[in-house]
Chains A and B, each alone.
Chain A
Amino acid sequence: AQSVTQLDSQVPVFEEAPVELRCNYSSSVSVYLFWYVQYPNQGLQLLLKYLSGSTLVKGINGFEAEFNKSQTSFHLRKPSVHISDTAEYFCAVRRNTGGFKTIFGAGTRLFVKA
């Protein structure tokens, strides 16, 4: 079975500062990894995904994430955040064979301050 741990429940940061949202996963098989964002009163939107290949993945809105197999991590980063990045961010994992079941982390609330 797979599991996901998001290490920070809340991350406050000032506008234009860099941010890193941390995600560790556990799995006995190879996985796909995802980051989703949920703005207030909305559904989830895919930010980026890692399937295979290059370990540095670029997504929408200037976000990127790095897959580290030895540390089983998939941390999300942005070099300069905006007020509009304030949202809930979810890390998710899915095994890459045998089904579509996706496991979501508990979420990290990013709060960008002016």
Chain B
Amino acid sequence: SAVISQKPSRDICQRGTSLTIQCQVDSQVTMMFWYRQQPGQSLTLIATANQGSEATYESGFVIDKFPISRPNLTFSTLTVSNMSPEDSSIYLCSVVSGGAVEQYFGPGTRLTVT
């Protein structure tokens, strides 16, 4: 399975600012995803990060709020823009590697917006 790291592991940010979260994988992967996990809740898919092209966003999520980059097969970033307290969540990077069916997850970034 792939080893996934995320930076930062946690942050406290002011309302109205932006934060970029990095996801690094130790090997090339087929698919990369970004999820949000709001306090005490399950995971919600934000978008699929596509290498070299625009991300594919799920209903309720837009590029202006959550711009995503994926410049190569091992790295992606998610930016949370113009933050409000409602954006306080854990943001998780997830990958599918090779011919695998299951997803693997990074340790998450715990974001608190004040």
Listed in ascending order, the chain A residues whose CB lies under 8 Å from chain B are 32, 34, 36, 41-46, 49, 51, 90, 94, 100-102, 104-107
Contacts and interface: CB of A to CB of B under 8 A. Distances in A.
Given A34-B102, A46-B104, A101 B42 contact: no
Max chain B Cβ within 10 angstroms of own Cβ: one of A32, A36, A102: A102
B70 to A, nearest CB: 15
Interface in B73-114: 92, 94, 96, 101-108, 110
Given A43-B106, A90-B43, A100-B31, 15 more contacts: A32-B102, A36-B105, A42-B108, A44-B43, A44-B94, A46-B102, A46-B103, A46-B104, A49-B101, A100-B33, A100-B96, A102-B103, A104-B42, A106-B41, A106-B42
Contacts of A43: 4, 92, 105-108
Contacts of B41: 106-107
Contacts of A105: 42
B111 to A, nearest CB: 13
Interface of B: 1, 4, 31, 33, 41-43, 45, 48, 92, 94, 96, 101-108, 110
13 contacts: A43-B4, A43-B92, A43-B106, A44-B43, A44-B92, A45-B105, A46-B1, A49-B101, A90-B43, A94-B101, A100-B103, A105-B42, A107-B42
Contacts of A107: 41-42
Contacts, number: 43
